[in-house]
Amino acid sequence: MNPAAIFTAFLTIVIREVRRFTRIWPQTMLPPAVTMTLYFVIFGNLIGSRIGSMGGFDYMAFIVPGLIMMSVITSSYANVVSSFFSMKFQHSIEELLVSPTPNWTILAGYVAGGMVRGLGVGLIVTLLSLAFTRLQIHYLPMVILTVFLTSALFALGGFINAMLATKFDDISIVPTFILTPLTYLGGVFYSIDMLPGFWQGVSMINPILYMVNAFRYGILGVSDVNPYIALGMILVFIVILSVVSLRMLQRGKGIRH
Amino acid sequence: MTSQTSEQDPPVWALEIEGLRKRYGSGFEALKGIDLHVREGDFFALLGPNGAGKSTTLGIVCSLVNKSSGSVRVFGHDIDTDLAAAKLNLGVVPQEFNFSQFEKVFDIVTTQAGYYGIPLRKAKESAEYYLKKLGLWDKQDVPARMLSGGMKRRLMIARALVHNPRLLILDEPTAGVDIELRRSMWTFLEEMNRNGTTIILTTHYLEEAEALCRNIAIIDQGRILRHTSKKDLLSQLHVETFVMDTDQTLTTAPELDGFATRLDSEGALEVEVVKSQGLNGVFAQLDSLGIRVLSMRTKSNRLEELFLHMVEENARQTEVSQ
């Protein structure tokens, strides 16, 4: 395939993904908007007003970057894992496997599709947050880089999960037992300065902490970790997960007999 | 654009399979060294009982199954070294429905074209052409799950053709399709073949293979038993059974010298005829008995008789060798 044909195949996958998640928008776009609004109301307004300030900002302003990031992470992951596994389950993945679309294009298409949903949900949550707080941008390039790379990273994670999954239960195990706890413990609702020394150390091995803080740095200018180290870590993880995903596709793990 | 190869021309092979083996992780050897050659422009049938290795063979050609060893070339493109080019020449209609049930008919076909790098405008034109050809144009906006079984089969054919492949592979294309629709699909496939598309099909309806195909391979237990022309294969059929409707209600089968006879459940006369005997002797003897034949047909599909004979023979030989 020539580059133009490969680009057409890539766009086809992305458009198909966007068509899929917009067709079922009450399942894909609405729930995170409702959940995050509840977070804003309960944690930000009702409880947050009693907490006072955190990291030099009122509590609502402090949690908004974390909540945006949380919605981006879960939506990017969920889109790819559910879409790719459904294709495996229905065997419609064979449509792609018999075509000359290169493996890296298949991966890029799915990751891009996950990013469109993740970033779309992130945008909706950002707009909702404006009803509760005034959002300032401290350093826009950091905001954009962090959110794009984090979205790509978790879309890749969703892809690997889908490749490994053999039944529908398998696609909810990682989000429920790994992703959600790591996100909640990743400094979305608090600064790790509040934790005892030991737990601060434990928190430092949570990769989501770096992403949340890098994003928070871009918006508020405060962070528990060095945001540039965080960006570097995300990039390294993206490279590793991309290589793993491509190897799986090449070997046909779970999709070729 | 008919691409009939003359006898003098070197053959252009649409598909070349050599020494193809497949051993699954469980240790089961589905293919035990298959050799298969299909000429460009051919209408080829790959026949075999369930579990013979038909779908595994075609799955490897389409890269849905990883081979253990051997080589596969599609129009000269080796799937190990030139997979993308091989795939561009290939259209696949699988046995099971394998499209998203929630997508609309038109989207399924245009999306498939996109996977082959066809720009959207051309993809739409091609999708319209094939959906109209296959009688699905009025269903273009209908989600696939709303289609009948026959429509779903036709959708898979339209999807396989949208990038105009030179080789079309159909795995049981008419399974579960009613007779009328099956006949219309035959007409469509014959037209595709006349226009130059090489077609390989597997089918359980041997009548289908006999009606459509020029060359046939019979596969069983992972081995090719025969790979020849339909004409050659049918010439090996020694005995045929003819069913005759007569002007009399027969209560017992008349005895005919040199021919085995019996009555079927509806009282029609069945006569077994060895090929070298011819039918004149049957008619002459019936005439002398005062029995007139009003109509006549072969009892079962000729290819089916031969197929069953070969598969049974292979099973017997396998049993003996074990």
Asked whether the beta carbons of B153 and B116 are under 8 A apart, the reply is no
Question: Which range, of A8-12, A117-121, A239-243, B271-275, averages the lowest pLDDT?
Answer: B271-275
**B65, B103, B159 member nearest A256 (Cβ):** B65
Tell me if A257 is assigned to some domain.
no
pLDDT digits (tens, 9 = 90+) for A217-236: 999 888 888 889 889 989 99
Percent above pLDDT 70 for chain B: 92
Asked whether the beta carbons of A211 and A228 are under 8 A apart, the reply is no
To the nearest whole Å, the CA of A231 is away from the closest chain B CA by 33
Percent above pLDDT 90 for chain B: 44
Confidence of residue B278 (pLDDT cuts 50, 70, 90): confident
User: With 80 as the cut, is the pLDDT of residue B276 above it?
Assistant: no
pLDDT at B301: 57
State the ipTM, two decimals.
Answer: 0.86
pLDDT digits (tens, 9 = 90+) for B282-310: 899 999 988 888 888 877 656 666 676 77
**A15, A19, A95 member nearest B98 (Cβ):** A95
Residues in contact with B195: Cβ distance below 8 Å, sequence separation at least 6, in sequence order = B1, B2
Question: Which range, of A40-54, B8-22, B111-125, B249-263, averages the lowest pLDDT?
Answer: A40-54
Domain count across chain A: 1
Phi-psi region of B267 (alpha: psi -120 to 50; beta: other; left: phi over 0): left
The single residue listed with the structure tokens 């070298």 is: B276
The single residue listed with the structure tokens 């302003």 is: A61
Partner residues linked to B171 by β-bridges: B202
Q: Do A99 and B62 touch (CB under 8 A)?
A: no
Asked whether the beta carbons of B185 and B170 are under 8 A apart, the reply is no
**A87, A91, A100 member nearest B116 (Cβ):** A100
Partner residues linked to B69 by β-bridges: B21
Asked whether the beta carbons of B243 and B234 are under 8 A apart, the reply is no
Across the range A133-158, mean pLDDT stands at 92
Tell me if A256 is assigned to some domain.
no
More confident residue, A222 or B162: B162
Most B-contacting residue of A95, A97, A104, A105 (CB-CB within 10 A), to test interface: A95
Q: Do A4 and B84 touch (CB under 8 A)?
A: no
Tell me if A223 is assigned to some domain.
yes
* Closest of B198, B109, B125, B190 to residue B157, by C-alpha: B109
**A9, A20, A257 member nearest B115 (Cβ):** A9
pLDDT digits (tens, 9 = 90+) for B98-157: 888 899 999 999 999 999 999 999 999 999 999 999 989 999 999 999 998 889 999 999
**B115, B117, B159 member nearest A96 (Cβ):** B115
Nearest residue in A to B111, CA atom: A12
> Would you state the structure tokens that stand for residue A128, as one six-digit string?
């909702």
The single residue listed with the structure tokens 């070339």 is: B73
pLDDT at B130: 94
Nearest residue in B to A9, CA atom: B115
Residue spans per domain, chain B: 13-235, 239-302
The count of other CB atoms within 10 Å of the CB of residue B179 is 8
Most B-contacting residue of A13, A20, A24, A99 (CB-CB within 10 A), to test interface: A99
Q: At B47, phi and psi to the nearest 5?
A: -110, 150
Confidence of residue B229 (pLDDT cuts 50, 70, 90): confident
User: With 80 as the cut, is the pLDDT of residue A14 above it?
Assistant: yes
Q: How far apart are CA B125 and CA B123, in angstroms?
A: 5
- DSSP notation for chain A: --HHHHHHHHHHHHHHHHHHHHHTHHHHTHHHHHHHHHHIIIIIIIIHHHH-EETTEEHHHHHHHHHHHHHHHHHHHHHHHHHHHHHHHHTTHHHHHTS---HHHHHHHHHHHHHHHHHHHHHHHHHHHTTTS----S-HHHHHHHHHHHHHHHHHHHHHHHHH-SSTTHHHHHIIIIIHHHHHTTTSSS-GGGS-HHHHHHHTT-HHHHHHHHHHHHHHS--SS-HHHHHHHHHHHHHHHHHHHHHHHHHTTTT--
pLDDT at B2: 40
Most B-contacting residue of A14, A24, A92 (CB-CB within 10 A), to test interface: A92
Residues of chain A found within 8 Å of residue B94, distances taken between Cβ atoms: 91, 94
Across the range A47-72, mean pLDDT stands at 85
Q: Which helix (H) or strand (E) holds B76?
A: none
User: With 60 as the cut, is the pLDDT of residue A67 above it?
Assistant: yes
CA count, 13 A, side-chain hemisphere, B144: 21
Question: Which range, of B27-41, B141-155, B215-229, averages the lowest pLDDT?
Answer: B215-229
Residues of chain A found within 8 Å of residue B85, distances taken between Cβ atoms: 100
More confident residue, B200 or B185: B200
Length, in residues, of chain B: 322
- Interface residues of A toward B, Cβ cutoff 8 Å, are 1-2, 4-6, 8-9, 11-13, 15-16, 19-20, 23, 86-87, 90-92, 94-102, 252, 256-257
What's the domain range around A15?
A: 3-251
**B59, B96, B111 member nearest A257 (Cβ):** B59
User: With 60 as the cut, is the pLDDT of residue B61 above it?
Assistant: yes
Confidence of residue B1 (pLDDT cuts 50, 70, 90): very low
For residue A134, what are the CA distances in angstroms to A71, A119, A127, B243? 19, 20, 11, 90
Tell me if A213 is assigned to some domain.
yes
CATH level 3 topology of B13-235: Rossmann fold (3.40.50)
Q: Do B64 and A97 touch (CB under 8 A)?
A: yes
Q: Which helix (H) or strand (E) holds B17?
A: strand B13-23
Q: Do B102 and A23 touch (CB under 8 A)?
A: yes
CATH architecture of B239-302: 2-Layer Sandwich (3.30)
| Chain B from 149 to 188: CB within 8 A of any A CB | 159
pLDDT digits (tens, 9 = 90+) for A159-216: 999 999 998 889 888 888 888 888 888 888 878 778 777 787 788 888 888 888 899 8
pLDDT at A172: 87
User: With 50 as the cut, is the pLDDT of residue B3 above it?
Assistant: no
Q: How far apart are CA B15 and CA B99, in angstroms?
A: 26
pLDDT digits (tens, 9 = 90+) for B79-114: 999 999 999 999 999 988 988 889 999 999 999 999
Residues of chain A found within 8 Å of residue B80, distances taken between Cβ atoms: none
pLDDT at B237: 65
Confidence of residue B194 (pLDDT cuts 50, 70, 90): very high
